[in-house]
Structure 1
Amino acid sequence: MPASTAEHNYNVVDEPVTSVLPDDTLYHLGQDFSADDEVLAALGYKAEFKREFSLFTTFCVSFAVLGLLPSFASTLYYGMGYAGTAGMVWGWPIALIGIQCVAMSMAELCSSMPTSGGLYYAAAVLAPPGWGPFAAWITGWSNWLAQVTAAPSVNYGVAAMILAAASIQDPSYVPTDYQTFLLTVFIMLIHGVMSSLPTKWLAQLNSAGSTFNFIALIIVLILIPAGTDRESRGLPKFTSSSKVWGDIYEGTAYPPGISVLMSFISVIWTMSGYDSAFHLAEECSNANMASPRAIVMTSSVGGLFGWFLQIVVAYTVVDIDAVLNSELGQPFAAYLMQCLPQKITMAILSLTIIAGFAMGQGCMIAASRVTFAYARDDCFPLSEHWKKVNQLTKTPVNAVWFNCVIGILLLLMIFGGELVIGALFSIGAIAAFVAFTIPVFIRVFFVGSRFRAGPWNLGRYSFAVGTIASGFVLLMVPILCLPSVTGAELRSVIYPSLDLMNWTCLVYGGPMLAVIIWWIVSARKWFKGPRVNIEHLMIGREVEPDRAGSQGTDAGDKKLDS
């Protein structure tokens, strides 16, 4: 950080940030401001949270949101159902290359712009002149859709596993949609209360949750191959490698290559939690180093152990058709019953349920920070309520409950059937990827030297990594919108009926179309991108009320009157 003068005056251009403020903006900070507050001020914001997250606790939240074990259990239908074991063991590392490139490009942006707004802020700053507000608008709403659907989808998976465990204990019990809905809502309410706690408590809770997630994952990785009773069922202990790595299950009417790409939804949804570190940047100490490191750590550690889990399951599954069509209504539970004694099955389900509970709570925390950041810039109706920070807990409690209510309403999709509620998972994948990549794409192809890298950066590899990330997302977005059907004739896939269609197109595309129409009709007149809130700290300048740098990357060309 640059040394301050006796008056503690600072210049934006001296900070390792890419800001919405003009480079020649001067601001004044008191002696009690930390180096993190100095960087945040250069981005246009005053500190509103306590910085009680470290690199480790930030990583813990991200890893808890990633939730490898419960995520894998919740999306096994897609990972295994579309391309079988070969798709699982080959598909994961192939998809991980693109995902890791997205994560590293995001980390580079985070180091340069460590704010709660994250990708939304980056899109506004980096967009070509005049396009900043629109880029921020689209990025922000897509990211918010990913965030607000995360906790409901995770908690739905947890509720389904709890009820499947009950069915295993009592085979005569068949869960109803109504029971699944009520149990999921109950979990959502518990998470709402937990996510409203002070930051220090949240850091401790998520450290415990992440630690449990990791320990549970290791236990499961050991317990499944060690405890399998396939031999007592007249089967070899493990499926042969030639079959695991070579047989692609015909889960769709598409060619095998497309089926493998479709199975990537499991990888993408499972691995989409690494952006949480970006949204917690304003609560993290040494944010422009710790937050990007947490992003890369989460994606790399999660990717490696996720692949190990894929391999273990691929070598022990007995009958894929039976897993997908089990009356238990939960493929992971059905898989466990195929290859393990009931007691071990219940033990693994219990570990997965607890890990899933911790994951859902982490998702709700991350979503509340995104909502707070966007409400701070008046993106939502009644934003003045959602951007308030509770004076007792120093957390955005209103934003927590706003998201909680929206999530409960989304859970009404349970009554539309498996394909409809399944859209929550594909929405999370496609919405997150679109939001992740818009600023990366702009950074690679439009910005060039105007990007001021932070202390964590990719150096000369930035363009290559960003190009791979952008290309991977451009490939996957249409793939994720293909009809999510299995075993149908090709004609039915191309012209699906309502019970076969991929509801992602409607549930994601509908709101995004509405957002674009809203922009054309109204929002373009009043939404100007990130709003700075340090006007009172600026020296010798008067800024537009509540706004500065509102024109995206052309903010630097805007001269403010003295």
Structure 2
Amino acid sequence: MSASQESHGHDIEHAPVTSVLQDGDIPLTKQVMSEDERVITALGYKQEFKREFSLWTTFCVSFAVLGLLPSFASTVYYGMGYAGTAGMVWGWLIAMVFIQCVAMAMAELCSAMPTSGGLYYAAAVLAPPGYGPFAAWITGWSNWIGQMTGAPSVDYALAAMILAAGSIENPDYVPTNWQIWLLTSLILIIHAGLSSMPTKWIAKLNSYGSTFNLLALIAVIIAIPAGTKNQPKFTPSEKVWGNITNLTAFPDGVAVLMTFVAVIWTMSGYDSPFHLSEECSNANIASPRAIVLTSGVGGLMGWLLQLVVAYTVVDIEAVLDSNLGQPWASYLLQVMPRKTAMGILALTIICGFSMGQGSMIAASRVTYAYARDDCFPFSNIWKKVNPYTKTPVNAVVINTILGILMCLLILAGEVAIGALFSIGAIAQFVAFSIPITIRVFFVGNRFRRGPWHLGRYSRLIGGSGVSFVFLMVPILCFPSDAGKALTPDLMNWTCLVYGAPMLGAIIWWVVDAHKWFKGPKVNIEHAIHPVEDDAEVVDQAMPIVDGKSIQGQLSGDGPKKVG
């Protein structure tokens, strides 16, 4: 280490690898800025949104995207349909340990780099020299596919529940696929209109929606065991926890792993605070807290709901094979008086509407962030911020159009449209794991933390999370049947529906995109990696304020200098 570095107390162990401006993390402007503006400018972007989200309202959006009650209702087929009640309770518990590891590792990245580009930006910043653009490209496309399928899959399940309620009231009515598609499209259009409102209105609307979500979830967890008509009321614990009802062609252990698709899809919305960080005040602390809070509260409440259903369900096969076409509605009618079941179904429908709204908001911010860096065709259109609402209305519009087109899979049957759920699970967690993998295995202790971090447990927690993802990606592509019993209509088409666009993105990169896509495009020149000379980091002159550099103030864990 050079004498100048020693005099400044510069620690090579914590040399910065995140955004470093040419003249330090000092915004090159005379304008008086808030702390949030200083952070986003130091990362290379200018402040374009109003920061009207708080920790609570950010949590509300992400909890709405999580939508535990409607998410469980949408994926109950996978939870109990692969391994029965034992798969439900053990599957959720085991998966949540590792999902929480992924969430905490992501929160650490968010604290260091609070931008709406989120994981895509982090992958570019952390990747080894020369690989940043490709890492950003793959992460961005995978995350965008997952985000884009979120609202359509939620709204499809919502439409199915609404029409199932109609079937309960009028047993002669059997919904057609065309009717489900038309209702899904209508809901998507309504969500598009609501997601185009000013940020302040969106924050307030989602605050109300998430509060209702949480209260409804608590009410359902209490109401089902209290009001069940079963005699006896509950299934014995040894049967709930120990009886794996394997309805797949695979061994019991694999069947339990296959139930994780319900957990992973349900818990794939906690990255929303990352994408909303440019609209959140005190973002490098509030946003990571919102990520961990969403995952933690969601995981616990979701497991309680799993237990309630596992202890009260009477006949799993009857729930799955009901002509209502909606297992949650079938389950409620099986265990509850009719009027009570309809009341709970109504609560689920309202929560599902709020969830779809949150999913649309998060997806539009991701589309905007990637279009800002010219990732998409016609990016100059999708990256525009509406001058009246100050929100990315064009990004909302394109996501809605693509969502309506994707929902045409409804016309191909339940197996085809079911791929949307697996795609969302795989695409999101692949995107989550790429920057975390780079941070854990390639960057190591050179990562410059933000004010919220995991300390010495960072690499252990991150490594555990990404190992879980690597295990689950192929498992989520397994069909429930195998061998001669596997027919095209029973095939799990996730590998094709997700793999085809990702393969297309890779081919596009090799053929053309590598020539012009250089990673996150910034409005102020910044270096993704530090300048190194003979394995030593060259210190950069940084002004001193109150005894420490601005870089140290912004990062919370960066090198500090004594004036």
State the TM-score, normalizing by the size of structure 2.
Answer: 0.90
Residue by residue, what CA displacement relative to the aligned partner does 1:384-430 show, whole Å, maximum 9, x if unpaired?
A: 01010011000000001110101000000001110000000000000
Among 321, 324, 328, the alignment partner of 2:324 is 328
Match of 2:93 in 1: 93
Report if the CA contact (8 A) 2:90-2:241 is conserved: yes
Match of 1:296 in 2: 292
**Following the alignment from structure 1 to structure 2, what is the Cα–Cα distance between the partners of residues 316 and 461?**
39
Residue by residue, what CA displacement relative to the aligned partner does 1:285-339 show, whole Å, maximum 9, x if unpaired?
A: 0000000000000000000000000000001101000111110000000001101
**Following the alignment from structure 1 to structure 2, what is the Cα–Cα distance between the partners of residues 301 and 406?**
32
Match of 1:130 in 2: 130
2:63 partner letter? F
1:474 and 1:20, CA in 2 relative to 1: closer, same or farther beyond 3 A? farther
**Following the alignment from structure 1 to structure 2, what is the Cα–Cα distance between the partners of residues 414 and 23?**
54
**What RMSD, in angstroms, separates the aligned Cα atoms of the two structures?**
1.8
Match of 1:168 in 2: 168
Indicate the SS of the match to 2:339: helix
Indicate the SS of the match to 2:489: coil
1:387 and 1:20, CA in 2 relative to 1: closer, same or farther beyond 3 A? farther
C-alpha displacement at 1:499, in angstroms? 1.3
1:437 aligned onto 2:433: yes
**Following the alignment from structure 1 to structure 2, what is the Cα–Cα distance between the partners of residues 188 and 352?**
17
Residue by residue, what CA displacement relative to the aligned partner does 1:124-177 show, whole Å, maximum 9, x if unpaired?
A: 000011100000000000000000000000000000000000001111110000
C-alpha displacement at 1:195, in angstroms? 0.2
Report if the CA contact (8 A) 2:52-2:281 is conserved: yes
Match of 2:368 in 1: 372
Indicate the SS of the match to 2:269: helix
**Following the alignment from structure 1 to structure 2, what is the Cα–Cα distance between the partners of residues 22 and 43?**
12
Match of 1:45 in 2: 45
Indicate the SS of the match to 1:75: helix
Report if the CA contact (8 A) 1:198-1:395 is conserved: yes
C-alpha displacement at 1:32, in angstroms? 3.6
Report if the CA contact (8 A) 1:17-1:112 is conserved: no
Report if the CA contact (8 A) 1:64-1:359 is conserved: yes
Residue by residue, what CA displacement relative to the aligned partner does 1:104-133 show, whole Å, maximum 9, x if unpaired?
A: 000000000000000000000000111000
Query: Structure 2 stretches of 5 or more lacking a match?
Result: 1-13, 539-563
**Following the alignment from structure 2 to structure 1, what is the Cα–Cα distance between the partners of residues 102 and 16?**
22
1:81 and 1:24, CA in 2 relative to 1: closer, same or farther beyond 3 A? same
1:532 and 1:163, CA in 2 relative to 1: closer, same or farther beyond 3 A? same
Number of aligned residue pairs: give it: 522
Report if the CA contact (8 A) 2:15-2:448 is conserved: no
Report if the CA contact (8 A) 1:21-1:556 is conserved: no
Among 461, 483, 486, the alignment partner of 1:491 is 483
Q: Equivalent residues in 2 for 1:161-560 (5 A)?
A: 161-231=161-231, 236-483=232-479, 485=480, 488=481, 490-492=482-484, 496-534=486-524, 549=527, 553=529
Report if the CA contact (8 A) 1:16-1:455 is conserved: no
Report if the CA contact (8 A) 1:144-1:371 is conserved: yes
Report if the CA contact (8 A) 1:23-1:556 is conserved: no
1:366 and 1:555, CA in 2 relative to 1: closer, same or farther beyond 3 A? farther
1:319 and 1:60, CA in 2 relative to 1: closer, same or farther beyond 3 A? same
1:87 partner letter? G
Q: Does 27-36 or 441-450 show the bigger shift?
A: 27-36
Match of 2:115 in 1: 115
**Following the alignment from structure 1 to structure 2, what is the Cα–Cα distance between the partners of residues 398 and 523?**
23
Q: Does 504-513 or 20-29 show the bigger shift?
A: 20-29
1:245 partner letter? W
C-alpha displacement at 1:459, in angstroms? 0.5
Match of 1:540 in 2: none
Indicate the SS of the match to 1:28: coil
Report if the CA contact (8 A) 2:15-2:446 is conserved: no
C-alpha displacement at 1:250, in angstroms? 1.5
**Following the alignment from structure 2 to structure 1, what is the Cα–Cα distance between the partners of residues 191 and 340?**
28
1:556 and 1:436, CA in 2 relative to 1: closer, same or farther beyond 3 A? farther
Report if the CA contact (8 A) 2:17-2:529 is conserved: no
Residue by residue, what CA displacement relative to the aligned partner does 1:171-216 show, whole Å, maximum 9, x if unpaired?
A: 1110000000000000000000000000000000000000000010
C-alpha displacement at 1:474, in angstroms? 0.5
1:491 partner letter? G
Match of 2:547 in 1: none
2:188 partner letter? M
State the TM-score, normalizing by the size of structure 1.
Answer: 0.91
1:126 partner letter? L
Runs of 4+ in 1 over 6 A off after TM superposition: 14-17, 554-559
**Following the alignment from structure 2 to structure 1, what is the Cα–Cα distance between the partners of residues 22 and 518?**
15
**Following the alignment from structure 1 to structure 2, what is the Cα–Cα distance between the partners of residues 492 and 194?**
48
Match of 1:8 in 2: none
C-alpha displacement at 1:26, in angstroms? 4.8
**Following the alignment from structure 1 to structure 2, what is the Cα–Cα distance between the partners of residues 441 and 191?**
34
C-alpha displacement at 1:284, in angstroms? 0.2
**Following the alignment from structure 1 to structure 2, what is the Cα–Cα distance between the partners of residues 172 and 105?**
51
**Following the alignment from structure 1 to structure 2, what is the Cα–Cα distance between the partners of residues 30 and 556?**
30
Residue by residue, what CA displacement relative to the aligned partner does 1:419-448 show, whole Å, maximum 9, x if unpaired?
A: 000000000000000000000000000012
C-alpha displacement at 1:553, in angstroms? 3.8
C-alpha displacement at 1:464, in angstroms? 0.4
Query: Structure 1 stretches of 5 or more lacking a match?
Result: 1-13, 536-547
1:330 and 1:555, CA in 2 relative to 1: closer, same or farther beyond 3 A? farther
Match of 2:546 in 1: none
C-alpha displacement at 1:27, in angstroms? 3.1
Residue by residue, what CA displacement relative to the aligned partner does 1:26-58 show, whole Å, maximum 9, x if unpaired?
A: 532344411000000010000000000000000
1:533 partner letter? N
1:479 and 1:281, CA in 2 relative to 1: closer, same or farther beyond 3 A? same
**Following the alignment from structure 1 to structure 2, what is the Cα–Cα distance between the partners of residues 165 and 449?**
55
Report if the CA contact (8 A) 1:130-1:554 is conserved: no
1:17 and 1:288, CA in 2 relative to 1: closer, same or farther beyond 3 A? farther
1:374 partner letter? Y
What is the percent sequence identity of the aligned residues?
70
